[in-house]
Structure 1
Amino acid sequence: MTPLVTAAVLLAAVTHASWNAIAHRITDKLVGFTLILAGGVLIGLALVPFAALPAAAAWPYLLCSAAIHVVYVVLLMASFRLGDFGQAYPIARGTAPLVVTVFAAVFAHEVPDRWAAAGIALSCAGLTGVALWGLRGRRPNRAAIGAALATGLSIASYTVVDGLGVRASGSPLGYTAWLMVVQGVVIPAYAVRRWRGKTVALLRPFAALGLFGAFLSVSAYGLVLWAQTRAALAPIAALRESSVKPCSCSNSTAGQRA
């Protein structure tokens, strides 16, 4: 990883932490993710005219990633509903780089050297330690931990799929734009159907906050996708998850209100 790639991933980590902090402030998680995903669709559509269309070889990856992202959002909301934010989120993000390492070795033929492997292991151990520290003196919620682990698996899956897809696309910006458009439709459509005539009333109080979160979310993931075209997937995944430490310090009861 060059200094430029490292700086880009660290900036993505800060941006990722920021949009997660914004999402965390919106107590109704369906409202928060609806605004962020719908905002991502609008940003993606705005970027499409200025970016090259991804190559044909990238579209199977892009469509697969969009489906996995929808599963990820559903699992993440379930994790927040079942357990504390401070437990679920570090488990989900902390397990992902280890799975990315395995998936990248199998599907991208990227095997980290000893130093990279040690760094990945240290990052995952630190993030898991955050969750274990939050569990001290309490009985673990197995359902919440299971949902968090499943969330981590979905994160690892879309990370590797997107890494392969963006490399095949020939246009990181175009891949980012179209991914935001395709993945961002399902959850907002479900929310509108569920809320029926209440949609505007539910979204209006958080609209500005949610749209700002969407901008940060797209920026963060766009930087990661660009970095994946220039460095191995597993170290990028581990470095990106440094964003979890500030996120996990938030009020841990929000997940129970989701």
Structure 2
Amino acid sequence: MTLTVILAVVLAAITHASWNAIAHHIKDQLVSFTLISGGGLLVGALGALFVPFPAAAAWPYLLVSAALHVTYMLLLMRSFTLGDFGQMYPIARGTAPLVVTVLAAVFVHEIPNGWQLAGVAVACAGLVGVAVWGLKGSRPQWPAIIAALATGLAIASYTTVDGVGVRDSGSSLGYIAWLMILEGIAIPAYALHRRRGQLAAQLRPYATKGLIGGAMSVVAYGLVLWAQTRAPLAPIAALRESSIIVGAAIGALFFKERFGAPRIAAAGLMVVGIGLMLHTA
């Protein structure tokens, strides 16, 4: 991984945590993700006018990925509804690189070395710590945790699919533009059906914030897709999850969520594990 790739993925991590925070801040999650998806759809449609059309070989991956992205957003909506941002975000994001490591080995034949396997073990320990120490009361919020874990599995699935698809597309910009178009239709269409005549009034107070979040989501994932054309999938997935620390800080600073010493230690373990997963020697 070159310095340029590393910087791109770190920027993607910061941008990703930020748009997730915007999505969480809008309490009506259907309104929130309608705007996020709609913003991504608009940016994708505009970008598609100026970038190459993806090669035919990439379209099966694009269609599968779009379905996985919609599933991911629905699960993320559910986890944000059930739990606190400072807990749900680290669990969802921390699960993903662990699963991507396995999927990349099985389907892309990118076999992890000993350091990377140690990183998986350490990150798993941190993930368990973040999950077990709940933010509300002394007992874990299992429905929220299960939703966040399922979100992480969806992230890992589309990351692996896109890692192959973008390499076959001939244009990472064309791939991200059409992915945003395909995935951006479903949730706004559902919201339009569900809320009918009320939707426009419900969207209006949050329109600017939500559309900015949607544009940020395109930038965040576009940087990751570009990086996936230049480096193996598992290290990129691992580095991308440095957003865990950004998400934890946002939860504590902006949402006033308690982030005590046990969770700080657990999040630290996750970051150490992810760092080990970046080890290539």
Q: Tell me the TM-score normalized by structure 1.
A: 0.92
CA positional deviation for 1:129: 3.5
Q: Which runs of 5+ in 1 are unaligned?
A: 254-258
Distance 1:86-1:252 versus aligned 2 partners, 3 A rule: farther
Q: How far is 1:27 from its partner? A: 1.3
- The alpha-carbon deviation at position 118 of structure 1 amounts to 3.8
The corresponding residue for 1:44 is 44
Tell me the CA shift for residue 68 of structure 1.
0.5
1:81 deviates by 2.3
Letter in 1 for 2:46: A
**In structure 1, what is the equivalent of residue 183 of structure 2?**
183
1:256 alignment partner in structure 2? none
Deviation, 1:123, is: 4.7
- Code of the residue aligned with 2:168 in structure 1: it is A
1:86 equivalenced with 2:86 (yes/no):
yes
CA shift at 1:246, angstroms?
2.2
Whether the 8 Å contact between 1:94 and 1:123 is mirrored in structure 2 is: yes
Q: Which is further off, 114-123 or 199-208? A: 114-123
- Contact 1:166–1:229 under 8 Å retained in 2: yes
Contact 1:40 1:215 (8 Å CA) reproduced: yes
| Shift of residue 124, structure 1, vs aligned partner | 5.1
Show the counterpart of 1:104.
104
Indicate the SS of the match to 2:241.
helix
Q: How does 1:1-258 map to 2 (within 5 A)?
A: 1-123=1-123, 125-134=125-134, 138-249=138-249, 250=251, 251=255
> What number of residue pairs does the alignment pair up?
253
**1-side partners of 2:256 and 2:145: how far apart?**
15
Give CA deviations for 1:189-216 in whole Å, capped at 9, x if unaligned: 0011111111111001111111111111
Q: Distance in 1 between matches of 2:83 and 2:166?
A: 34
Kindly report the root-mean-square deviation, in angstroms, between the aligned alpha carbons of the 2 structures: 1.8
Contact (CA 8 Å) 1:86, 1:248: kept in 2 or not? Answer: yes
In 1, distance between residues paired with 2:134 and 2:140? 10
Q: CA deviation at 1:80?
A: 2.0
How far the C-alpha of 1:17 sits from its partner, in A, is: 1.5
Q: Percent identity?
A: 66
| Structure 2 counterpart of 1:168, one-letter code | D
Partner Cα distance (1:141, 1:102) in 2: 27
Long gaps (5+) in structure 2:
258-281
**In 2, are the aligned partners of 1:62 and 1:175 still within 8 Å (CA)?**
yes
Q: Aligned equivalents of 1:31 and 1:14: distance in 2?
A: 23
SS in 1 for 2:89: helix
Query: Higher RCO, 1 or 2 (CA under 8 Å, sep at least 6)?
Result: 1
Contact map agreement 2:84 2:135 (CA 8 A) in 1: no
